[in-house]
Amino acid sequence: MKQFFGVLILLLPGIGFARGVGEMHLKFPDRSLTLNFQAQDKLLKQAPEHFFQIGKFKLPVDFGGDLPVNMDLVETDFHTQVASGELESFFRASSLLRQQEHQAVKISFDEDKNVVFEGSPHDGFDIEYDRLVALINQAIERGDTHVRVPAEKIFSEVVVHPLLEKQGIQEIIAVGKSNFTGSSDARRQNILAATRKYNGLIISHERRFSFNTILESVKEEDGFVKELVIKGDKTEKELGGGVCQVSTTVFRAAFSGGLPIVNRRNHSYAVPYYQPFGLDATIYLGGQDFKFYNDTPGDILIQAFVEDDDLYFVFYGTDDGRDVVFEGPFISDYEKAPDPIVYETEDLPDGEMEVLSAAHDGFRAEWIRRVENGGAAEEEIFSSAYRAWPAKIRQGKEIIAQSARRTYE
């Protein structure tokens, strides 16, 4: 299965271009990534260049970070450059790019006939960041808008037990990834508790996957604790808060693998954990579910695991030659977050305030996915409408209970 990423375009109005630098197209071996500096203004910085002015000539001088006391003789120009640390952080947070070593994965059975995995699969790019930063800076200086990225594509070798091979489980056909940096201990615990339920799961050929059916419950005896969930116009603590990190990652694997998505809905507001926006899937037991269909030639085996602050869902199956291309997110209908909402409560001293949830701007994010298989091509638009969400603050006497639709954040 060939998977290609299209142009990643992030367009949020209201943020000015930095010194006329609009966007940069990064060409990888199998995809293009567009950095839009209107939306990602932190990717650029103004770097100073010091020199002595001697007549018509400028003599560059490097003070090594320590400027002289007397700066009267020193002239300074500022040049737009890429912020290398922000660029690397953007790559990692985007969930589209990786920098990993080769590692073989062995799939077999234990004594109880449970599927076991040895090794963590890796796909993505080994990027020469220092060289890439230099190339981008050169392009900015020259006014170029295209840079070929010095990167090597990395794949994992897979060794599968013969019994699983007979079921069509032969190779990696899709990988989903999300990052949960900044999550509380409770949220991390819920992510791990839910992830364990899907690791080793087999989805039979021509069968439908239901996230809620496998999750079944978020009881304390299964390792779940209380954490924030979205409840209508509020965020409150309930058992299982954070499980949507898991459903979102499953969706990303199914999406990138070109599998038919049967049922999926985005969150009410743009949750920061689910960047790039438009690739999240909310669930709630007894209500919203995420479902996809296995239309591959064989069964699909799921490996689910956490590395540091990254969650991975890897699908093993049979490569039927389908080509998957997707691009986005295309952002529109931007709306600034409204003024904060203050709730009165008796739990806090007079005058003391507690921020329950942060404000979130509203917008629409769209992704286009094209799947070509056996000469038949299908294009689908995945649209996510995120509400403008005010900050919620506690400061008063009474909390008014509201019954509303609930989703796990």
- Residue 191 belongs to what H/E stretch? helix 185-198
Is residue 264 pLDDT above 50, yes or no?
yes
Coil/strand/helix, residue 360: strand
Q: What is the pLDDT of residue 244?
A: 95
Q: What is the pLDDT of residue 101?
A: 56
For the segment 68-86, the average pLDDT, to the nearest whole number, is 74
Q: What is the pLDDT of residue 400?
A: 47
Say how far apart CA 154 and CA 161 lie, in whole Å. 23
CB atoms within 10 A of CB 23: 17
Q: Highest mean pLDDT range out of 49-63, 69-83, 204-218, 336-350? A: 204-218
Report yes or no on 320 lying in a domain: no
- Which residues touch 13 (CB under 8 Å, ≥6 apart)? 334
Q: What is the pLDDT of residue 49?
A: 75
Say how far apart CA 101 and CA 343 lie, in whole Å. 50
Q: What is the pLDDT of residue 209?
A: 98
Q: Please state the domain count of the chain.
A: 1
Q: What is the pLDDT of residue 8?
A: 43
List the one residue out of 292, 289, 399 whose CA is nearest residue 344.
399
List the one residue out of 392, 328, 322 whose CA is nearest residue 357.
392
Judge contact between 122 and 101, C-beta under 8 A: yes
> At 99, is the pLDDT very low, low, confident or very high (cuts 50, 70, 90)?
very low
Place of tokens 């986005």: 328
Lowest mean pLDDT among 17-31, 128-142, 296-310: 17-31
pLDDT in tens, 293-338: 999 999 999 999 998 899 999 999 999 989 888 887 888 898 998 9
Report yes or no on 74 lying in a domain: yes
List the one residue out of 117, 249, 115 whose CA is nearest residue 177.
249
pLDDT in tens, 201-259: 999 999 999 999 999 999 999 899 987 776 666 666 778 789 999 999 999 999 989 99
Mean pLDDT of the chain: 82
Distinct helix (H) and strand (E) counts, the chain? 6, 28
Is residue 193 pLDDT above 70, yes or no?
yes
Q: What is the pLDDT of residue 9?
A: 40
Half-sphere exposure of 29 (CA within 13 A, CB side): 12
CA 67 to chain centroid: 41
Instruction: Provide the percentage of residues in the chain whose pLDDT is more than 90.
Output: 41
Report yes or no on 281 lying in a domain: no
Domain interval for residue 61: 1-154
Report yes or no on 352 lying in a domain: no
Place of tokens 């295209």: 146
Report yes or no on 292 lying in a domain: no
- Residue 143 belongs to what H/E stretch? none
Lowest mean pLDDT among 24-33, 95-104, 361-370: 95-104
For the segment 260-288, the average pLDDT, to the nearest whole number, is 93
State if pTM tops 0.75: no
> At 10, is the pLDDT very low, low, confident or very high (cuts 50, 70, 90)?
very low
Lowest mean pLDDT among 22-36, 197-211, 268-282: 22-36
Lowest mean pLDDT among 33-42, 56-65, 116-125, 141-150: 56-65
For the segment 5-23, the average pLDDT, to the nearest whole number, is 46
Identify the bridge partners of residue 362 per DSSP, sorted by sequence position: 335
Backbone phi, then psi, for 117, in 5-degree steps? -115, 135
Q: What is the pLDDT of residue 126?
A: 75
Report yes or no on 108 lying in a domain: yes
Q: What is the pLDDT of residue 12?
A: 39
Report yes or no on 358 lying in a domain: no
